[in-house]
Structure 1
Amino acid sequence: MGWLDLARFTGYRYVPVDGNTEEMPSVSVWGSFKHSVFRRLYGEKSPEEAELVSILDKRLLGFAMLGYFLKVLDMTNLANAYISGMEEELNVQGIDYNWMYTFFWIGYLLMQVPSNALLTRVRPSLYLPCLELLWFILTLSMGFVRSVHAIFAIRFLLGLAEAGFYPGMIYLIGSWYTKEELGKRSSLFITAGSLGGLISGVMQAALLKGMNGVLGLSSWRWLFIIDASITLLLSTVGFLLLPDYPNNTKWLTQEQRELAVARLAKQGRSSTRKSLNLAVFRTIFSSWQVYAFVAAWMLGHAASEGPHQLGIVAKKVGFDAVTANLLTSPLTLIDMVCIIGNGYLSDRYQTRKWCIVIPSTIGVIGYTLLGMWVQPFGFLYFAFLITVIGTKCTNSIVMTWVTEVLGESMEHRALIVGIMNTCTGIQHTVIPLLLWPVTDAPYFTTGFRFSVLLLMGFIATAFLIDALHKRDLRRTTKRKLSFNVPDGGDTFLNGHAMAMEARVDDAGMAEMLGPVALEVKNHDAAEVYLINRHSHSSQDMHYDMSKGDIERN
């Protein structure tokens, strides 16, 4: 990438010398900062590829982050409404409030897998905004509801509508970004939810104070109305901006679609949808991936619940309610920084295993200190701090790893992501009762100590996934490949000697056996590239070594 190419993305100011515009530019401080951010987000890419990724960041990632931010706001709205007048106005009694959450989770869990399965059959640019539109209607209905039983029905339908967003966005993000880009984008998406949790209380408190009685509506009703209005805006933007898949997004040029497909194909990633039938489900449940990744996802989520108890612990040991809430804010900020930082490191060093193992080891230390109930409170707070560092930044890495390992099948990836989220949703209804009952506060001895075991299981699962994936790669690359050379063809592969056949060994080296040469440019994805010099054209071809066949991209 030349200086002029970088200028398009970083805002450099050029000062031609003797008419030579390719001289090194003078750089403003702001331009230097943007250049630094650009290099970290886009790496060493051609101008065309960097422009494509920039478009995806603005359209796809921007929509995903705003949608997840709103989802977290919606999840907290019910609790804020309940304590702000809903209980008295609708005569909520007994465990009615708990049933509101229960009906939501029933709908949410029922729709996880079907929604992602449907997403592989329809256009995401229509399906996901339609979910947002349904979300808008139901959230708006909460602002005008008149009975508890009506809330039960709305909450169930709202669970169905919201179920497809998170796994659907994880699936769609994984359908576009390469493995060098995916960790950072997944972490930014997850961080948007943390940001929603951080500012939701402040934003909603302002709405409750300023909107009570406006147009004859209680302040708690305005929470849902305003949230619904933002959701409607998001849905409208989604219809206009969201992409479909790399091979069929209409607002990309033909060259950009070909580039989007080619850059994923170079990593062994498929952009082609295949049939979805019972054979697909049989294949999924006979593979190790579904069990290993579901176990990792459940263990990681279960082990990350401990830091949420800080507010309760602080209040029980004598802090007032305001101070107890304020003590949790720094941990949320640290959580966001760690998520983004770990995502960047996982992309930078191309490792998912160690970006799970190292933080989780720190989390083990934190939970051990919490289980020992270290004193004074400053030491206990430090233990919470390192527990957050060790447990909150790994979930986005697991999702990134799923996308990489299952990149060859869009259907397998979509269904396994849905299964993972369904299992953790079921788990969330049980874990708080078993490990974090309020009656155990402030010590939570069972929860803190058992979380050490959860993290150790999480670490072991990461090593297992890495070992099984490497085993699969070794089996794949040992396959023997044969290629036919056109009559009179002058076929070379990146300047190597010609051979008729090529065999790839464990080290990724090609053994020349005939008149075609083979070079492995990406051993992990088991890819080869064939260049036809006779016709003076370059063609990328992806050879699926696990099946022994050839696919032209």
Structure 2
Amino acid sequence: MSLNSNEEDEKKTPIHVEINELDPVLSTVISLDNKEIKIHAKDADDAMQFIDDIRDLEIDPAYEKKLLRKIDWMLMPIIIALMSCQLMDKTTNSYAAIMGMRADLNMLTGDVYNWVGSAFYFGYMVFEFPSNILLQRFPLSKTLSTAVMIWGVVLMCHAACHSAAPFLVCRVILGAFEGFMNPSYIILTGMWWRKKEQYMRTCVWWGFQGFGTLLGAGIAYGLAKNRVGDYSFASWRLLYIITGIITILLGVISFFHMPDSPAKAWFLNDKEKKYCLERSRENQQGFGNHKFKKSQFIESFKDPTVYIFFVYGLSYAIPNGGFNNFGSILLNGDFGFSTLDALLMNMPGGAIDIVFPMTIAYINYKFLKNRRLVSCTIVNTIVVVGMCLLNFTSPRGSRLAGYLSFYLATAVSAGVCSIISSNIAGYTKKATVNTIFLVGYCAGNIIGPQTFQAKQAPGYVGAKAAMLASFIVGTLCLISLFIIYVRRNKAKDAKRAALGDKYSIPDNVAFADLTDLENPEFRYSL
């Protein structure tokens, strides 16, 4: 297809070739473990339907650069807004806790408040696999946007609670619907951007959760500062109502704005859609497959890297769950900041969340040959040092530096999410690995608040020790992933070299919906 298309060629018309026009068996490949795999048309990726449209397509770098800029501007703002909203919703508890919520809901005695954070992740964990199945079976962005609108309604319901029990029920339901968010954006990132582009984009949308911290802390500060006699009911209740309204509005915008795949993008013309398809070939992944594949599900549990993702998710989330729910309490009680100052002290962390991941992604791309696991390991080691400062030093300045070092870990968790997007192929396998990773993440967030025992207040020595241990384990996980992926790439290269001239690249294997272990052309990002 010529790139010098006239204006009529670039009209926003659908591109489509019926899958039953292709051979029932498209090709046969030999996997890394010498297993013969037949690629059937009915099992192929959705992108295979459009393969004839790009058969002779040649990529013009200048045109692709313009297209990439367009994709970034059309998709990243809404993704950023929703991710910001997600963290704002999560950290609302931390702000509300020092704005009178614990007293109003009788949560001042014992460890009742600990379960506020944990309850959210019980809902998240239990519904994580069903949410991934729904995202696979139904239009991805429409399913996500509907979940966002429902979670906004549930968030507003928090304001109507007058005791701990209904509040905890709201937290469980909220977790169930927020569980759609992360797997959706991991899938979307793999669908729209090349592997080399994914870490920066993931750092942007993951890191901009920090804007949610800035906005949430700012709203909470404004409500807390003017709370006396100015509102007909408690300022913490207004906080939940305001954040709920913002969430619902963003869900509506997402429903109409976010396309389910590049092939259905309302803002792309025909030529741009074809470019998107060709760009995805490099990833050895397409647009997804709506059929649940038992073989890919089973492979997920045989792949040792999946358990490493689980352990990393657990290790990152234990400190995360603690900070999200007890961060302001720690600043208020242990560090000695006033209520208003403690709310404001959340803002530097939010700023670090935004700036640092993008900085690390740039350094990684410019100087480390896009080796994400290397940069993530370095950053996680720095966080370990920060946790040592928090645990073992006395001056408030050094302890505060240790406290703020937690926010550096956002760049690492973003890197791990981008590794899942890049290095796990096969739509069912990706959904399963997403689930396992996020179950670990949920378990950690359930455990995290429980490490803050009331009897250890205000210093919470046990919680701080748990944070340090968690980041050490997370660092070991990153090193393990790097070693495994290096070995797998070498094994695939050796197998190809052994075949010599006998090896030929299977036609369109990138769009066969094969797993990373099945596809002989797949190489792991490091």
Q: Structure 1 length normalisation: TM-score?
A: 0.70
Query: What residue identity is the alignment partner of 1:433?
Result: Q
| Structure 2 Cα separation of the partners of residues 77 and 542 of structure 1 | 42
2:310 pairs with 294, 303, 313, which one?
Answer: 294
1:397 pairs with 402, 415, 426, which one?
Answer: 415
Residue 88 (structure 2) aligns with: 73
Asked if the contact 2:128/2:439 (under 8 Å) is kept, the reply is yes
| Structure 2 Cα separation of the partners of residues 279 and 541 of structure 1 | 18
Question: Which consecutive residues of structure 2, in runs of 5 or more, have no partner in the other structure?
Answer: 1-58
| Structure 1 Cα separation of the partners of residues 237 and 348 of structure 2 | 30
- Rate the CA distance shift 1:84–1:442 in 2: closer, same or farther, 3 A: closer
| Structure 1 Cα separation of the partners of residues 481 and 224 of structure 2 | 48
Residue 50 (structure 1) aligns with: 65
Residue 350 (structure 1) aligns with: 370
Query: What residue identity is the alignment partner of 2:81?
Result: L
Displacement of 1:50 in angstroms is 2.7
Map Cα deviations across residues 437-486 of structure 1 (whole Å, 9 max, x no partner).
4544666555555555443433332222122222222332344xxxxxxx
Of the two structures, which has the highest relative contact order with CA contacts closer than 8 Å and spacing of 6 or more? 2
| Structure 1 Cα separation of the partners of residues 322 and 251 of structure 2 | 35
After TM superposition, the structure 1 = structure 2 runs for residues 42-441 of structure 1, keeping only pairs within 5 Å, are: 46-78=61-93, 80-81=95-96, 84=99, 101-144=117-160, 150-207=166-223, 219-249=235-265, 251-273=267-289, 275-302=291-318, 312=330, 315-316=333-334, 320-322=338-340, 329-348=347-366, 349-373=369-393, 375-384=394-403, 387-388=405-406, 391-406=409-424, 408-434=425-451, 436-437=452-453, 439-440=455-456
Query: What residue identity is the alignment partner of 1:316?
Result: D
Question: Which consecutive residues of structure 1, in runs of 5 or more, have no partner in the other structure?
Answer: 1-43, 480-502, 519-527, 531-538
Moved more, 541-550 or 214-223: 541-550
Displacement of 1:344 in angstroms is 2.5
Query: What residue identity is the alignment partner of 1:262?
Result: E
Q: State the secondary structure of the residue aligned to 2:127.
A: helix
Displacement of 1:399 in angstroms is 0.8
- Rate the CA distance shift 1:540–1:254 in 2: closer, same or farther, 3 A: farther
- Rate the CA distance shift 1:512–1:53 in 2: closer, same or farther, 3 A: same
- Rate the CA distance shift 1:380–1:204 in 2: closer, same or farther, 3 A: closer
| Structure 2 Cα separation of the partners of residues 316 and 146 of structure 1 | 29
Asked if the contact 2:214/2:346 (under 8 Å) is kept, the reply is no
Asked if the contact 1:361/1:390 (under 8 Å) is kept, the reply is no
| Structure 1 Cα separation of the partners of residues 217 and 284 of structure 2 | 44
Displacement of 1:143 in angstroms is 4.4
Map Cα deviations across residues 356-396 of structure 1 (whole Å, 9 max, x no partner).
221122233333344432x54444444445x4475342110
Asked if the contact 2:360/2:375 (under 8 Å) is kept, the reply is yes
Query: What residue identity is the alignment partner of 1:104?
Result: F
Displacement of 1:276 in angstroms is 0.8
Moved more, 83-92 or 113-122: 83-92
| Structure 1 Cα separation of the partners of residues 401 and 102 of structure 2 | 38
| Structure 2 Cα separation of the partners of residues 379 and 470 of structure 1 | 38
Displacement of 1:174 in angstroms is 2.6
Displacement of 1:280 in angstroms is 2.8
Displacement of 1:115 in angstroms is 0.7
Query: What residue identity is the alignment partner of 1:184?
Result: M
Displacement of 1:279 in angstroms is 3.0
| Structure 1 Cα separation of the partners of residues 376 and 125 of structure 2 | 26
Asked if the contact 1:402/1:413 (under 8 Å) is kept, the reply is yes
| Structure 1 Cα separation of the partners of residues 296 and 350 of structure 2 | 40
Map Cα deviations across residues 485-538 of structure 1 (whole Å, 9 max, x no partner).
xxxxxxxxxxxxxxxxxx546xxxx95569xxx8xxxxxxxxx699xxxxxxxx
Moved more, 467-476 or 138-147: 138-147
Asked if the contact 1:124/1:242 (under 8 Å) is kept, the reply is no
| Structure 2 Cα separation of the partners of residues 412 and 175 of structure 1 | 15
Query: What residue identity is the alignment partner of 1:334?
Result: I
Residue 466 (structure 1) aligns with: 482
Map Cα deviations across residues 207-250 of structure 1 (whole Å, 9 max, x no partner).
46679989966544433333232223212211221121234445
Query: What residue identity is the alignment partner of 1:339?
Result: P
After TM superposition, the structure 1 = structure 2 runs for residues 9-20 of structure 1, keeping only pairs within 5 Å, are: none
Query: What residue identity is the alignment partner of 1:119?
Result: L
Query: What residue identity is the alignment partner of 2:351?
Result: L
| Structure 1 Cα separation of the partners of residues 327 and 93 of structure 2 | 20
Query: What residue identity is the alignment partner of 2:476?
Result: A
Q: State the secondary structure of the residue aligned to 1:175.
A: helix
Aligned length: 457
| Structure 1 Cα separation of the partners of residues 91 and 518 of structure 2 | 49
Moved more, 357-366 or 99-108: 99-108
Map Cα deviations across residues 37-64 of structure 1 (whole Å, 9 max, x no partner).
xxxxxxx983432333233323332222
Query: What residue identity is the alignment partner of 1:426?
Result: A
Residue 26 (structure 1) aligns with: none
Residue 476 (structure 1) aligns with: 492
- Rate the CA distance shift 1:81–1:454 in 2: closer, same or farther, 3 A: closer
Asked if the contact 2:141/2:254 (under 8 Å) is kept, the reply is yes
| Structure 1 Cα separation of the partners of residues 446 and 294 of structure 2 | 30
Query: What's the Cα RMSD here?
Result: 4.0
| Structure 1 Cα separation of the partners of residues 263 and 341 of structure 2 | 53
Map Cα deviations across residues 234-289 of structure 1 (whole Å, 9 max, x no partner).
12211221121234445533322221121121232233415214333211111122
| Structure 1 Cα separation of the partners of residues 126 and 104 of structure 2 | 31
- Rate the CA distance shift 1:79–1:302 in 2: closer, same or farther, 3 A: closer
Pair member with larger Rg? 1
| Structure 2 Cα separation of the partners of residues 50 and 529 of structure 1 | 28
- Rate the CA distance shift 1:82–1:478 in 2: closer, same or farther, 3 A: closer
Displacement of 1:92 in angstroms is 7.4
| Structure 1 Cα separation of the partners of residues 103 and 389 of structure 2 | 43
